[in-house]
Structure 1
Amino acid sequence: MAQKTKQWGAIIVMIALFAMIAFVTNLCTPMATIIKNQGPISNVLAQIGNYGNFVAYLVMGIPAGLLISKYGYKKTALGGLVVGMVGIAIQWFSGQLNAQENLGLVFAVYLAGAFIAGLCMAILNSVVNPMLNVLGGGGNSGNQLIQLGGVFNSSAAVACYILMGALIADVSKARISDASPALLIAFAIFAIAFVVILFTKIEEPVKEEKESSTLTTGQLIAGALGFRHFALGALAIFLYMGIEVGVPNFVQQDLVAQGIPVATVGLLVAVYWFMMLVGRFVGASIGSKVSSRAMITAVSTATLVLVLFGMFAPSDVLVNFPGVNWSTLELIWQPIPLGTFSLLLVGLCTSVMWGAIFNLAVEGLGRFTAIASGIFMTMVFGCAVMMAVQGYVADLFGYNASFWVVVFCAAYILFYALVGSRVSRRDEA
């Protein structure tokens, strides 16, 4: 009984961290709307927060895995939370500077804060995913627990978009300082999480020190990448980030450009993350019965259908799309193009991709699992790359054409599900 109590305590903490990661990470997309309206700023430059946040994964992904190997999951999580509080504080400070006098300085300070906060996200993601997979027992059960964590992750993302939509109702006058309440909430969440984890008993997974202690970091990295299904899975995560963040990000920019009030757009885009919440709830419900490969095959195919339909649907055909005004608890209906409606439904598909890809990619890695988690987190910087690519395409050819980038990403993930994820060998050490 004591063993179960310890495990459930760790599970609850890991799921709470999963939610916190989403809230802080998703601040970057609404902030892009604020930044883009500070002056004649391109779609590429507007994503400055996403660049800082996700490039940090490139820097911290593998070191995070090494920190876990040396200090364990609990101490690594606590250190990550301290880093996160510093990053949020710097972002808040950037909003207190006078943007009219020195907009470049404001951007530089904000970028630094986003980067430091991203270091925290990389550390916490490196802790949460393998811990939930291990606590769930690996396989389908491990995937099920990761999907359950994803339910709370999506809930926090929905809350973030609703809050930011309310804070930047008039985008033409919005400044970074307008996001201060959201940043202070994020700081408080970090602080509370630190205290809770500090006093929570977390049972560390058994380390296979004898097998891995004789290997250098380079040998561990090479060993993990030597598994074909893992290497291809790492690339799948790189491209997956372009779908998960790219779709709501550029749908939001497109709807704002069409003249829809930002507060309303925030409520509409929050539905994308609500779709992810629904999808992850379903994924958690069936995760022990449906294989990760089957999940990815189904949702990547559906993503291709929805995005292609969204791109080619007649722009003059409008549908009423629902949103919830949480301040008055009223349902709102906003006419949007039929294609945009289709794109927002992609949230149902991206909901289970992360957990299922991770679950397949680390199958059979044995002693290389810890470093593999770090490599996985490094690949999350693909969001920064894919945001820049899609933003560049949007600047050249418009928002609609930019979704060809998403089509490419979804096609590769379908390939990974059908071919690339097949395990050709396992670690027998």
Structure 2
Amino acid sequence: METTPKNNARIVAIVVMFFIYAMISFVTNLAAPIGTIWGYQFEGNSVLGMMGNMMNFLAYLFMGIPAGNMLVRIGYKKTALWALAVGVVGLFVQFLSSIVGTETVVTTFSSTNAEGIATSFPITLNFFIYLLGAFICGFCVCMLNTVVNPMLNLLGGGGNRGNQLLQFGGALNSLSGTLTPLFVGMLIGVLSKQTQIGAVNPLLFLGIGIFAVAFIILSFVSIPEPNLSNGRKIKYSHSPWNFRHTVLGVIGIFFYVGIEIGIPGTLNFYLADQSANGAGVEGQASAIAGAIVAVYWLFMLVGRTLSGFISGSVSSRSQLIAVSSTAIILIILAIFIPKTTTFPVPEFLYEGGAQVPVSAFLLILCGLCTSIMWGGIFNLAVEGLGKYTAQASGIFMMMVVGGVMPLIQNAIAKASGYMTSYWLVVAMLAYLLYYGLIGSKNVNTAIPVSEDTPDALDL
């Protein structure tokens, strides 16, 4: 059982893991821009347009624990290879949706628009083929995430160095996530009802090619296997659920996903809403909102990069406490500052001299805070788990379903106003602050975590 790779092999392994981290974002962020094509096909129905994105994240719920078990049974390397193969299949199925079933009507969807006018339109077979492809790709990114997070933490030796690698990997993830929608936009051009899903086929082929090359390279790379059971069925005397700091960290990841998505998502609606409850942005509100929210994701890239440089000397716990506290302050200020207090949108973001509430600026600054939370929480929650780390990684992947929290925030926004809904985000941030201060301490150090201890029973 290989646990410590030689230095050169370690560097190659780190580079491969960084590459995989970037590919996770590439596959995930294909769903939203491709969804805009379907939205136009379906008379501007945003719900159907976002179904691919939902299928992508729903896969995490089903694949999280099985992926963790795969790490134990077949190891990190083989799990990653299977994930890359699944990714090729998922992208190919999405390609098939551009040529198969384009004329076959499966059902008719009816809805009522904002003016109360009922509309209906056919949904063809190729849409369901696309959703299947998005779901399969969700399996791929869940498996890759399950591999890359504990592996980077392991290659860094855990602690500060482990978190440092996680943050650098996260920075590449953010960069890939920022570039992917731009590439899709270049391929689509001017979006209209005549735009077909086939417009993004070049990007799907690129993804298939990258996965294939990554599969070949990874096949020859030595990856440490600290928890490999060599195919044996093993039952441990404990599990990740027996560690308090891990359980609290799992809850923290669930809330984190809700925070990361909820802040920019609700802000987008807030700025684009021209009703009395909205921000009242004058001009092309949707374009302005998109430009402002894009800066939030840019700040996430900046924050992860900066954290990567300082994490070798600043602990995950200190960083989590600092960013949670700062985000709470920023959001509370955003809630209370009157929306009539505005600032001009920089010309490089939007030409036209638009004004947006100062609250929006405070909210996008939170991107600097949320950027380091995933890596920090994961690093703290698996510290001291030893042989239980692989199983814990799978459990963490399930918690990506925390993306449901923005739906609750949206319901609060409709009932009580956009800014009021951010109190939910404050509450979730308060939990992360508690986790950094108290909950992240391992109080279960008496549980044996070494593979050499006699509590792993062959079945």
Q: Which residue of 1 aligns with 2:79?
A: 76
Contact 1:148–1:284, Cα closer than 8 Å, also in 2: yes
Q: Which residue of 1 aligns with 2:183?
A: 163
Aligned equivalents of 1:176, 1:254: Cα separation in 2 = 30
Structure 1 residue aligned with 2:439, among 407, 415, 420?
420
Structure 2 residue aligned with 1:245, among 261, 285, 309?
261
Shift of 1:41: 4.1
* SS at structure 1 position matched to 2:356: strand
Question: Is 2:303 aligned against 1:287?
Answer: no
Question: Is 2:162 aligned against 1:142?
Answer: yes
Contact 1:295–1:356, Cα closer than 8 Å, also in 2: yes
Q: For residues 71-108 of structure 1, what are the alpha-carbon distances to aligned partners after superposition, in whole Å with 9 as ceiling and x for unaligned?
A: 22222111111211222233344456369963374553
Question: Is 2:395 aligned against 1:379?
Answer: no
* 2:253 partner letter: I
Question: Unaligned stretches of 5+ in structure 2?
Answer: 106-119, 275-282, 454-459
Q: For residues 233-260 of structure 1, what are the alpha-carbon distances to aligned partners after superposition, in whole Å with 9 as ceiling and x for unaligned?
A: 0111111111222333333444455563
Shift of 1:179: 4.8
Aligned equivalents of 2:194, 2:412: Cα separation in 1 = 26
* 2:14 partner letter: I
Once the two structures are overlaid, the 10-residue window that deviates more, 331-340 or 241-250, is 331-340
**Alignment: residue pair count:** 417
Shift of 1:226: 0.9
Q: Which residue of 1 aligns with 2:108?
A: none
Question: Is 2:220 aligned against 1:195?
Answer: no
* SS at structure 1 position matched to 2:239: helix
Q: Which residue of 2 aligns with 1:58?
A: 61
Question: Is 2:119 aligned against 1:125?
Answer: no
Aligned equivalents of 1:270, 1:30: Cα separation in 2 = 14
Once the two structures are overlaid, the 10-residue window that deviates more, 368-377 or 68-77, is 68-77
Contact 2:324–2:432, Cα closer than 8 Å, also in 1: yes
Question: Is 2:9 aligned against 1:14?
Answer: no
Higher gyration radius (CA): 2
Q: For residues 280-317 of structure 1, what are the alpha-carbon distances to aligned partners after superposition, in whole Å with 9 as ceiling and x for unaligned?
A: 11111110211111111111122222233334433333
Contact 1:170–1:262, Cα closer than 8 Å, also in 2: no
* 1:314 partner letter: P
Shift of 1:409: 2.2
* SS at structure 1 position matched to 2:339: coil
Structure 1 residue aligned with 2:171, among 151, 169, 175?
151
Q: Which residue of 2 aligns with 1:299?
A: 323
Shift of 1:382: 1.9
* SS at structure 2 position matched to 1:103: strand
Shift of 1:357: 0.4
Change (3 A) 1:61 1:292: same
Aligned equivalents of 2:347, 2:8: Cα separation in 1 = 39
Shift of 1:318: 3.3
Q: Which residue of 2 aligns with 1:364?
A: 384
Contact 2:71–2:228, Cα closer than 8 Å, also in 1: no
Shift of 1:162: 3.1
RMSD: 3.3
Contact 1:150–1:280, Cα closer than 8 Å, also in 2: yes
Change (3 A) 1:314 1:417: same
Contact 2:70–2:79, Cα closer than 8 Å, also in 1: yes
Structure 2 residue aligned with 1:277, among 282, 298, 301?
301
Once the two structures are overlaid, the 10-residue window that deviates more, 272-281 or 84-93, is 84-93
Structure 2 residue aligned with 1:388, among 400, 407, 424?
407
Change (3 A) 1:66 1:164: same
Contact 1:161–1:270, Cα closer than 8 Å, also in 2: no
* SS at structure 2 position matched to 1:90: helix
Aligned equivalents of 1:247, 1:318: Cα separation in 2 = 19
Aligned equivalents of 2:68, 2:347: Cα separation in 1 = 40
Contact 2:328–2:429, Cα closer than 8 Å, also in 1: yes
Shift of 1:133: 0.6
Q: For residues 171-222 of structure 1, what are the alpha-carbon distances to aligned partners after superposition, in whole Å with 9 as ceiling and x for unaligned?
A: 66585625555444433432332233234x1232333759x96743xx57x6
Question: Unaligned stretches of 5+ in structure 1?
Answer: none
Once the two structures are overlaid, the 10-residue window that deviates more, 358-367 or 159-168, is 159-168
Change (3 A) 1:174 1:149: farther
Q: Which residue of 1 aligns with 2:249?
A: 233
Shift of 1:30: 4.0
Contact 1:94–1:176, Cα closer than 8 Å, also in 2: no
* 1:280 partner letter: R
* 2:328 partner letter: L
Change (3 A) 1:139 1:155: same
Q: For residues 42-78 of structure 1, what are the alpha-carbon distances to aligned partners after superposition, in whole Å with 9 as ceiling and x for unaligned?
A: 66x6542332111211111111112122222222111
The structure in which a higher percent of residues are helix is 1
**What is the percentage of aligned positions where both structures have the same residue?**
43
* SS at structure 2 position matched to 1:239: helix
Contact 2:72–2:229, Cα closer than 8 Å, also in 1: no
* SS at structure 2 position matched to 1:202: coil
Q: Which residue of 2 aligns with 1:3?
A: 6
Contact 1:18–1:150, Cα closer than 8 Å, also in 2: yes
Question: Is 2:168 aligned against 1:186?
Answer: no
Q: For residues 331-390 of structure 1, what are the alpha-carbon distances to aligned partners after superposition, in whole Å with 9 as ceiling and x for unaligned?
A: 99864332222222221111110111011101111221111111111112222x224333
Q: Give the structure-2-normalised TM-score.
A: 0.80
Contact 1:23–1:160, Cα closer than 8 Å, also in 2: yes
Contact 1:267–1:323, Cα closer than 8 Å, also in 2: no
Question: Is 2:93 aligned against 1:90?
Answer: yes
Change (3 A) 1:378 1:174: farther
